[in-house]
Chain A
Amino acid sequence: MLVLFGLLGGRCFAAPEVTERAAGRQICYQRDVLPILARNCFACHGFDLRARQAGLRLDSRDGATATLESGHAAVVPGDPAGSGLLARVQHADPAQRMPPVETGKALTSEQLDILRAWIEQGAVYQQHWAFVVPADHPPPDEGEAYEPIDAFVRARLRNAGLVPAPRADPWTLLRRLSLDLTGLPPTLEDLDQFLLEYSDAPEPAWRRWTEKYLASPQYGEKWARWWLDQARYADSNGYSIDAPREIWKFRDYVIEAFNSDLPLDQFTREQLAGDMIPGASEQQRVATGFHRNTQINQEGGIDREQFRIDSLFDRVATTGTVWLGLSIGCAQCHDHKFDPITQREYYQFFAFLNNQDEPTMKVLGADREAVPQQKQALEAELQKLLEARADEIAAFETAVVQEGESTERGKQLAKLLAVARDKRTFAQRLSLFAAGPGASDQEFQARRNQWLACEQILNEAPSTMVLQELTRPRTTRIFVQGDFTRPAEEVSSGTPSALHRFEPGDVPPTRLQLANWIVSPENPLTARVIVNRVWQVYFGKGLVETDNDFGLQGTPPTHPELLDWMALRFQRQGWSFKQLHRSIVASETYRQSSDVDPKFRDVDPGNALLARQRRLRLDAELIRDAALAASGALTTRIGGPPVFPPIPDGVMSQGQVKREWKASTGANRFRRGLYTFLYRATPPPALNVFDAPDGYSTCTRRLRSNTPLQALTLLNDMAFFEVARQLASLIERDGLTSAFRACTARQPCAEELGVLSSLDSLSAARVLLNLDETMTRE
């Protein structure tokens, strides 16, 4: 194993599950030393100048080997006995020993051995792996015609003495594929069709069904939710007032982006700076809603600027986490403790995002051009008419006044006349004319009706929240300790210098250039971060487990060459998500059985080497979706305003302001979980209990908890009980086996059928919907 990793690209990586004695082996800074230093030393002896103690920094070789005030150096390459670092970390006196006892940290004897051996071997530093662009590794030669992914994975398995699990059963495979690509279990017809094709020719069948699912509109819904977590999407303003907001057009934009396989680079540009793309389309402006998914505080007595700044802090942190996998947000109050980002650079990054208005925009779609134009033309025409017949109107007004308010018509007209002539809206002037001189003018009436129709379209069009760049940029200043009441020196927009070059054409640099910088091929991070986060969905864990921290504190990748290979391929294939999905699901690694082989349980308990697939509990929304689909209740309409499936009484009074929740009726009652209205302060309990994110900050990886409240929800919640009743009628119509297969995709065994058939159909349906297997992707 060591040999293998020592040779590849001159780099080496941690194999977390395999430990070896340090003595006598080649120490690798990245793999062996950095985690120890980062964890235990960098907080006081790292990048942050102000936090640095005793003038010592250990994050660079120059710093570590410099002569300190004491006259000694912390690290003397080749001389462990002369290195102050070693003396201090194993000092007999607890008051002298590092790290200080109050940090609660201490080095193990193995860690001491590593540091000693590292110094002995010359104390070599390497640049952090994630800050170097991915290298082009050829897949290892595994002898057979493996997919590259499998070649990388199997090489490591073989070295660890592990054997990959066999392929999963065909029914498990299709359910896995369907859930992973569309978020829904396969229908019985699909299942039968697939099993037939698969028994005949497995590979073509697998490819065909992969394509079928990727082409289905449900694919966009499934993967949109993955992105919406990261975008911290919700349908309310947050904080304590938590008023509803209209921004679902952004959600629909994301669905469409996945369905049309919008490349990640363009997807990024549109969301961060769609308004600045020359000739920006309406959809590109809608996309800027990404950074409008911050909270808005509507409480009385607050300082609005404070909360605007807070939303910017969130935008900086979110951008850093989502695209760069870096905790840039840590540098808000001080230089980053571990990663090379200064506080000044933080505010330079902040400056990109500090220059916009935050308006709402009507979304007109196909009507965007035509309707306003038509309205304007009609207005000009009608205006001419009104002017030409101004005398008649004046005469009519006098007549109306004389007529008085005895009739209903009189009252209406009096109301219009009560508005001063020059204050009347165009609509009011039209009404007046329509009641008087224009009453019998067919031509005028037709024009007026057309105008009203235009007006109605414009009024009723949904609106959405967008960014709009200011013509005069705001001044950005560093805030001392992140406190907005303490502005210090002015900074201009810029990117962290430790990362790739930023060469803006324009001055000052804009959000659009930031977006371009993020998706630049020179960026070592974005492609890796995104590929890793997609991988995480399929295997429950990323190749880099800390998917949101690729910095020095993060975990190194389990399969670094594979990660690089996928990141490069992702870019070469035009940042296409669908291509990425294709390559993952085509692999044998993906298609393995998820059963736990007791032989290997102790060798690789976390399954880091991927000797099997992993059973994964479905995400909150998909638990709902799978139940709806299995029972035949699901409404498959894509997009549109959020809906209100039934929730228990009293939930909405948990917030400060009681919000209305009128349960949808008809088809909208059975929409996918993705469309449920999301109040941040009072999230829908059935989603919240299954770990749906709260929309307060970006969520790049959901936890999967397993609790009694989940059981109560699935057993007793009205919404699920309704679904159970539908499944019960399916049982009565098509039998237990059908219903069982609709939930799990497999044939029940005789014993299982025996248990279920001893129950009435409603109870059997409730059991099926509560099966661990039903809520799990196996």
Chain B
Amino acid sequence: MNPMLRPRLQMETRRHFFHQCSIGVGAIALSSLMGERSSALADQSRLASTSRPTHFLPRAKRVIYLFMAGGPSQLEMFDYKPQLVEMNGKPIPASYLAGKRFAFMDSSHRVDLLGTRRQFARHGECGAWVSDLLPHTAGIVDDLCFVKTCKTDLFNHAPAKLFMNTGSGQFGRPSMGAWVTYGLGSECGDLPGFVVLQSGPRGPRGGAVLWGSGFLPTMYQGVPLRNQGEPILNITPPAGVSDLAQQEVMRSLRTLNEQRLAATGDDEISTRINAYEMAFRMQTSAPELMDTRSESQETLRMYGIKDPVESSYARNCLLARRLVERGVRFIQLWHTNWDHHGGTTENLEQHLPAICQEIDQPTTALVRDLKQRGLLEDTLVVWGGEFGRTPMGEVRESTGRNHHIDAFTVWFAGGGMRGGVSYGETDEFGFGAVQNPTHVRDLHATILHLLGLDHERLTFRQQGLDVRLTGVNPARVLHELLV
């Protein structure tokens, strides 16, 4: 018997199946967003590149998250504390330390205050404080919204990064980018919905789980665009396979898969056919994305890109804009290393200025470039690390600061956030919030809100719990910061 000729399916055309499939996709996506228990949990995994309805009107359509890995020192950059300078070298009043836990408690931790040696000035119409480390950023403060009282729960790098990205210090939770693409789907038919770019001397502590999908289907995990070799893992046909041969393989594969679809009636095959088509498109679109030769000299200069091929934070900022233009939903840049404890390789005197210089101009250029192109309105840019640094100094061979989780600065631009705002106030030493403490959960809730997602309704059922990015503790949308 010819298995191809099963009578009952003979009349089913491919178009018919695709039609049915697309109806199914919409229905399942909607039900999962409404928090219903979908009887088709596993089927959710095939909802690739469709856009989904939001809970309410979104202000932002996409996110660029500039993750400064290691914990940038807010006290050297944004949170100006003259009294800290005055009290330099004196011990912090004991009342500040009671009941606090720090990393490396018993070894290098010191209790003497360390005043910053940077010069601070007010900038823009809003008069935001920015230090001399960031002359370019100082020029766009009227587009930025500084949250100076961010607070996290964990004081070691990997757990804190996990917490900032997944809402939990435990491994295995979905990252923010995964949640967002799960909630909103993708608007890009030939690139992944969640893309990760990396720069700096090494990968961030924590590694690939930081952009993992946890218990969400793996299709939502961040796809790293690689700086060397092929831009996406396995995007290039194997050595010795010509483009023509690859095309023929794809064409034949499609024909045979379509026949099997007709024979079995299993929609999963049409999803697979689509996945192969997108993979094939990615083979062209990813190299095209990475090829920045078409960018003008002026643009390259603005970003501070000297060599358009060499990997750098600056080039990644430009790639972020190009990804935004292509409809990618969530773009995360990781730049290492901001862990300025002091010492020969990571001190506040030499290494902080150096890394600030690496990011200052490109970050500014990215915000300006998006604005010029009318993209900033619906693109949310987030800048920040996993925690900040202590007002107390660490004196190793040179000065540095320890990890600090009670108050640090994160800034936002575009995407429905107000510009020219400094939110939250820290005490005289910058140790804790005296006004508007803002927990990581509040940041998450706000980011989701801007995208049109209700953080309490964007859930996934796991081990008996409707798990969400913001976890079980209360989280607050920072409505006062929205346009």
Q: Say how far A597's CB is from chain B's closest CB, in angstroms.
A: 7
User: Is B260's CB under 8 angstroms from A707's CB?
Assistant: no
Q: Which residues of chain B are near A683, meaning CB under 8 Å?
A: 208
What residue in chain B is nearest A760 (Cβ atoms)?
A: B245
Contact A648 to B253, CB < 8 A, known contacts A548-B463, A596-B264, A712-B279: no
**A711 and B464 contacting across the interface, CB-CB below 8 Å:** no
Q: Is A359 an interface residue (CB 8 A)?
A: no
Considering only residues 116-168 of chain A, those with a C-beta below 8 Å from chain B are: none
Are B48 and A688 interface neighbours, CB within 8 A? no
User: Would you list 11 pairs from A and B whose C-beta atoms are within 8 A, ordered by A residue?
Assistant: A239-B171, A299-B157, A300-B104, A301-B107, A327-B465, A555-B37, A649-B229, A682-B208, A718-B238, A755-B255, A773-B260
Chain A residues lying within 8 Å of B252, measured Cβ to Cβ, are 755-756, 758-759, 763-764, 767
- The reply to whether A746 and B3 form a contact with Cβ atoms under 8 Å apart is yes
User: A72 at the A/B interface (Cβ < 8 Å)?
Assistant: no
Whether, in the assembled complex, B94 has its beta carbon less than 8 Å from a beta carbon of chain A, the answer is: no
How distant is the Cα of A772 from the Cα of B266 in the complex, in angstroms? 11
Would B45 and A703 count as touching, CB distance under 8 A? yes
Q: A386 an interface residue at 8 Å Cβ cutoff?
A: no
Residues from 689 to 733 in A contacting B, C-beta threshold 8 Å: 689-691, 694, 696-697, 703-713, 715-718, 721
- Is B275 touching A299 in the complex (CB atoms < 8 A)? no
- B463/A708 in contact, CB under 8 A: no
Beta-carbon contact of A767 and B171 below 8 Å: no
How far, in Å, is B283 (CB) from chain A's closest CB? 8
Residues of chain A with a CB closer than 8 A to B226's CB: 650
Q: Which of A240, A596, A710, A778 has a CB less than 8 Å from the CB of B205?
A: A240
Determine if A507 is an interface residue (Cβ-Cβ < 8 Å): no
Given contacts A310-B170, A594-B266, A721-B238, 12 further A-B contacts (CB under 8 A): A105-B35, A301-B103, A598-B8, A615-B266, A706-B268, A710-B275, A715-B279, A755-B255, A756-B256, A758-B252, A767-B253, A772-B257
User: Is the Cβ of A755 less than 8 Å from the Cβ of B208?
Assistant: no
Q: Are the C-beta atoms of B219 and A705 separated by less than 8 Å?
A: yes
A673 touches B (CB below 8 Å):
no
Q: How far is the CB of B463 from chain A (nearest CB, A)?
A: 5
> How large, as a class, is the contact surface on chain A?
35 or more
**B interface, how many residues as a size bin?**
35 or more
Q: Which residues of B213-258 have CB atoms within 8 Å of chain A's CB atoms?
A: 217-219, 223-224, 226, 228-229, 232-238, 241, 245-246, 248-249, 252-253, 255-257
- Nearest-neighbour CB distance to chain B for A164, whole angstroms, equals 15
Residues 178-220 of B contacting A (Cβ, < 8 Å) = 192, 202-209, 212, 217-219
Give chain A residues whose Cβ lies under 8 Å from the Cβ of B3.
169, 746, 749
The interface bits of chain B over 267-286 (1 if a CB of A lies within 8 angstroms of the residue's CB, else 0) are 01101110110111011000
| B158: interface (CB < 8 Å) | yes
Q: Is there a chain B Cβ closer than 8 Å to A176's Cβ?
A: no
Are B207 and A655 in contact (CB-based, < 8 A)? yes
Q: What's the minimum C-beta distance from A762 to chain B, rounded to whole angstroms?
A: 8
Q: A704 vs B267: C-alpha distance in the bound complex, in angstroms?
A: 14
Interchain CB contact under 8 A, B42 and A712: no
Among A301, A485, A615, the most chain B Cβ lie within 10 Å of the Cβ of A301
Contact A711 B4 (CB under 8 A): no
Known: A104-B35, A615-B266. A597 touches B464 (CB 8 A): no
Assuming the contacts A595-B9, A718-B238, asked whether A102 and B464 have C-beta atoms less than 8 A apart, the reply is: no
Does A317 have its Cβ within 8 Å of any Cβ on chain B? yes
Tell me if B2 counts as interface (CB < 8 A to partner A). Answer: yes
Across the interface, name the chain A residue whose C-beta is closest to B283: A712
Interface presence of B457 (CB below 8 A): yes
Interface residues of B in 430-464 (CB under 8 A from A): 454, 456-457, 461, 463-464
Instruction: Flag whether A493 is at the interface (Cβ < 8 A).
Output: no
Contact B39 A545, beta carbon cutoff 8 Å: yes
Q: Measured between alpha carbons, how far is A655 from B224 in the docked complex, in Å? A: 13
| CB closest chain-A residue, reference B242 | A763
Q: A299-B156, A715-B249 are in contact. Are A682 and B207 (CB under 8 A)?
A: yes
In the complex, chain A residues 578-608 whose Cβ is within 8 Å of any chain B Cβ: 594-599, 601, 606, 608
Determine whether B301 belongs to the interface, using a CB cutoff of 8 Å to chain A.
no
For window 589-633 of A, CB contacts with B under 8 Å fall at: 594-599, 601, 606, 608, 615, 617
CA distance A654 to B269 in the complex (A): 32
CB distance from B134 to the nearest CB of A (A): 28
Cβ of A708: which chain B residues have Cβ within 8 Å of it? Answer: 48, 192, 275-276, 278-279, 282
Q: Does A30 contact B (CB under 8 A)?
A: no
| Chain A 515-550 interface residues, beta-carbon cutoff 8 Å to B | 540-541, 545-546, 548-549
Contact A648 B233 (CB under 8 A): yes
Chain A neighbourhood of B135, CB < 8 A = none
Residue contact B158 to A240, C-beta cutoff 8 Å: yes
Encode contact with B along A194-232: 1 for CB under 8 Å, 0 otherwise. 000000000000000000000000000000000000000
- 4 tightest CB-CB pairs across the interface, nearest first? A327-B464, A240-B158, A596-B265, A696-B172
A556 in the interface, Cβ–Cβ < 8 Å? no
Asked if A317 meets B463 with Cβ closer than 8 Å, knowing A681-B209, A749-B4, the reply is: yes
Residues of B within 8 A of A746 (CB): 3
Cβ–Cβ < 8 Å partners of B105 in chain A: 301
> Is the CB–CB distance between A597 and B103 below 8 Å?
no
B8 and A763 contact, CB distance less than 8 A: no
Q: Which of B45, B224, B465 meets A706, CB within 8 Å?
A: B45
> Which residues from chain A contact B208 at a C-beta distance below 8 Å?
654-655, 681-683
Shortest Cβ gap from A775 to chain B (Å): 9
B253 contact set on A, CB distance < 8 A: 767, 770-771
A: residues with CB less than 8 A from B are: 16, 39, 102-105, 169, 238-240, 242, 295, 299-303, 310, 317, 321, 326-327, 329-330, 333, 338-339, 485, 540-541, 545-546, 548-549, 551, 553-555, 594-599, 601, 606, 608, 615, 617, 648-651, 653-656, 680-683, 685, 688-691, 694, 696-697, 703-713, 715-718, 721, 746, 749-752, 755-756, 758-760, 762-764, 766-767, 770-773, 776, 778
Known contacts A654-B208, A755-B252; A321/B463 CB under 8 A: yes
- Which residues of the other chain, A, contact B2 by a CB distance below 8 angstroms? 749-750
CB of B483 within 8 Å of the partner chain:
no
Q: Does B6 reach chain A (CB closer than 8 Å)?
A: yes
Bound: A608/B101 CA distance, A = 52
Nearest CB on A from B79, distance (A): 24
Decide if A606 touches B279 in the complex (CB within 8 Å): no
Most chain B beta carbons < 10 A, residue from A39, A338, A707, A770: A707
Query: Is B88 close to A, CB under 8 A?
Result: no
Nearest-neighbour CB distance to chain B for A492, whole angstroms, equals: 26
Instruction: Report Cα–Cα, A617/B269, bound state, in Å.
Output: 10
Q: How far is the CA of A595 from the CA of B204 in the complex (A)?
A: 47
Q: Are the C-beta atoms of A551 and B206 separated by less than 8 Å?
A: no
Residues in B with CB closer than 8 Å to A697 are: 172
Q: Does B396 contact A (CB under 8 A)?
A: no
**In whole angstroms, how far apart are the Cα atoms of A772 and B274 in the complex?**
12
Residues of B within 8 A of A554 (CB): 464
Given contacts A327-B465, A685-B233, contact A706 B218 (CB under 8 A): no
Nearest CB in chain A to that of B233: its residue: A648
**Measured CA separation A704–B464 after assembly (Å):** 20
Task: State A706–B217 Cα separation when bound (angstroms).
Answer: 9
The residue in chain B whose Cβ has the minimal distance to the Cβ of A329 is B463
- Give the CA-CA distance A746 to B170 in the complex, in Å: 46
Interface centre among B158, B233, B237, B263 (most CB of A within 10 A): B233
Asked if A104 and B203 make an inter-chain contact with CB atoms under 8 angstroms apart, the answer reads no
With beta carbons under 8 angstroms apart, the residue of B103, B202, B233, B249 that contacts A763 is B249
Chain B residues with Cβ below 8 Å from A545 are: 39, 41
In Å, the complex CA distance between A453 and B155 comes to 49
Point out which of B6, B269, B275 has the most chain A C-beta atoms below 10 A from its C-beta: B275
- 8 Å CB contact of B9 from A548, A598, A776: A598
Contact A650 B171 (CB under 8 A): no
When A705-B46, A755-B255 are in contact, do A656 and B249 touch as well, CB less than 8 Å?
A: no
